[in-house]
Structures are given as C-alpha cells and as structure tokens.
Amino acid sequence: MKITDLKAALIGNNVTLRIVTDKGIDGYAQVEENKPFVMPLTDYYKPMIIGADPTDVESVMRRIRRDGAFKPWGKMVSTIEMALWDIAGKEAGVPVYKLLGGKVRDRVRVYCTLYGNDRLPYPGAFEPEKRAENILAINEMAGFSIVKTALGFHNPRFTAMAEENGFAYNSYPISPAPPASRPNQPAQFHFENANGSLLTDKGLNFLIEYVAKVKEIVGDKVGIAFDCGPGFMPVDALKFAKGVEPYNVMWLEDLITGDYTPYQLAQCYRDLTSNTITNIHTGEQVYLRQNYKEIIETQAVNVLGPDPADVGGIAELKWIAEYANLHGILIAPHGVFNGVFGMAAHVQLASTLPQNYIAFEFPEAHPAWWSDIVEGLPDNFLQDGHIKVWDKPGIGVEFNIPKAEKYLRPEDRDFFL
C-alpha cells in the first residue's frame, strides 16, 4: 500500500486531514479547532509522505517529525500521525488499540472543561457561585466526575479584573480577541494577555477565595481542576497553590508556562511542586518526548497533559505516559478542541495507557452537526463520565460522505474525490 495524496478541508471549526492510498483505504484526523492557518502546511508535508507505506507509521513519521515544533506548529505532524494509525488499523482489520499493545480497560474516564454551554443554568458565568452551579449541572447531565474551569490569567475576565481592580502590580492590556466559536461562549482571548505580574494581596486573596467558594458549593460531588495560566510569577504560583491546599483540587494547570510558550521552565515547576501538596499540571503545548525529558526526570509536576494533536500523535503520547509512570507522574491528556475524530483517537489511546492515567479532556462536537456527518460512534457512547471502548477497525469513525459534502467550502469541494 502506498500514500497517493494528502488533503485538507476546513469543516466547521476544524481543519480535517484525509490521507489517500492506492488501496482505497483512507485515514482521517482533525486538527484542533480554530487553527485554519495550518492549512498551507498540507502542501509542505505532502511530498514528504507520498509513496510511503502508511502502515509503517514510524517510518513515515521519521520523514516529517523533525519538521514540527511547539504548539501550534506540531499540529499537522500530529494529525498526520493519527490518520496513519487509522489506515493501519483498517488495513489490519483491528481497532488501533490492538496496534498500540492492546487495551487494559474497557471504558475510559473523561473530564469536561467548563468554557460555557447553552445547556448550563448560567452560560459563560464567571462568578464562583454560578460556576459551581454549572459544574453540578454538568455532572448531572453527563456524569462527569472531573470538571476543569478557567481561572487566573487563563480567564479573560480575571485578566480584565487584574487590570481594573488592582489585582497585580503591573497591568497588561488584553489584545483583541477572535470571535467566539461556541454558543454562549465569551470570545476567546489571545494568549498575549497571558502575561502576569506579581499579584497584590487583593489579587491573591480573590483567587484563593474563588476556589473556596466553588468547592464549598460543589463539595465532594465533582473533582475540580483549575486552568490557571500561563502568567503567574513562581512566587505567586506557590502562594496560590498553598492557599488552596485545604480544598483538594484535582490540579492547578499551566501556572507558570503553558499555551504558546515554547519552553518549560522545569526548574520553576520543580520548586513549586516540591513545596505544596496541591497537584500541579502542565504540558499541553509540548511537542515530542525529547521536550518532556527534563520535566519528567526532575519530577517537576504531578500531572502531565500532553495533547495527541500537538505532542506528535498517539504513539508519542503513549511513550510519554509510560515514561511518566516510571517517575510517579499522573497523566490527564489535553484535547478539548480535538473534534470527533480526535475524540475517537483519544479513546483508542486511553484504553492502552498505564495506571497513571486519570482521564482525557472530552472534545464535544462543534458545531453540533459534526455528530450527524460521521458514522461508527456507538449510541450513548458517553455515560457516567466514561466512554466505552469500541472495536471497529482503525479509530472506528468514518464520514457519511453525502452528509459531510454539504458542509464543504467551495475551495474544498474535491476533499472526498
């Protein structure tokens, strides 16, 4: 079998890849939402993989892996990798998890990120009391036992308050934000605003009290994680982490470095983690195992969150999870924007991960019609905060092409041809 083409189409919010072969077996995967700027990279990587056997996944990846980089530039490489595994599973007639060593669990836990949803009692609310009610509603709707919510410099409302209310000693203007992509969701912020400063007493106390109020209402019904940065100075990160120790949060994420920071500052995370019993989390922006080496070997955090759509693919993430397990570090993969095909790849991977696996970040179908243009997902596949692992070949999801064609842009009309 040989690769004959690599195609990309912007379907809804996701750039979607199709790897075409001379055997009529196609592989599909999705880039993270709202990243149309990676489309031109299709033409860059296409000549590197044309003529290769897609079932020799590692061989194909050696052709392109060196030409990726930290988020967002490793996205195309990572997405190609997942599409290759889809082909390899279909050719072998087995689900991808069989090719990754076999599953160790029949269902996988997922967690939910609270970014606003039209089914919630208080869509887009920032107030801690309303956030807490939203978290309880999510638990009631889908049984999620873990919910993550944005706080600190990862939340544009907090960043605006930091500037307006004296939460930090230096203010950093918020850059213009792109439009919202989901119902009742505040416009997404540019990460230029993820620049912190030394917090004032007022700012630090606000954060600690916010966590306390949310936990008081939610209690022990749901585990709560907070996506916090990047942007904290290490000294404030430690004060905040120690201040919320009584509340046993699931983790504090990306306090110091994180999205769109192409470095780790592992020593700062190591100092933070060593001096608090609050779980510290990072890693969604990291590309390849080599860039995880220091943060794992120094045990710089308690929880890692690599994203298969950024880290180099699902096999790369599995290697990182195994290595993290050897060092006593937990794994909670990122993936909130990875789409239906990304969710399917996550399920295949998560079923094979070692005991350090907590849950992966569940990506909903956006727009909702995505669920109508694919086939293969079991009925009611999400129950009680878990997804039952399915056994269809490849990643187990296919396009219903007649339905999907209706959503192609004119410039992408040859995607399925």
Q: Where in the chain is the domain with CATH 3.20.20.120?
A: 99-393
Placement of tokens 């019609």 in the chain:
369
Judge: domain 99-393, CATH 3.20.20.120.
yes
User: Distance between CA atoms of 234 and 271, rounded to whole angstroms?
Assistant: 9
Q: Where in the chain is the domain with CATH 3.30.390.10?
A: 3-93+400-412
Domain formed by 3-93+400-412, architecture: 2-Layer Sandwich (3.30)
Which residue ranges in the chain fall short of pLDDT 70?
114-116, 171-195
38-70 pLDDT, tens per residue? Answer: 999 999 999 999 999 999 999 999 999 999 999
Q: What pLDDT was estimated at residue 105?
A: 98
Q: What pLDDT was estimated at residue 369?
A: 97
Q: What pLDDT was estimated at residue 180?
A: 47
Question: With 0-12 CB in 10 A as exposed, 13-18 as middle and 19+ as buried, what is 175?
Answer: exposed
Instruction: Give the pTM.
Output: 0.94
| Bridging pattern class, strands 398-399 and 386-388 | unpaired
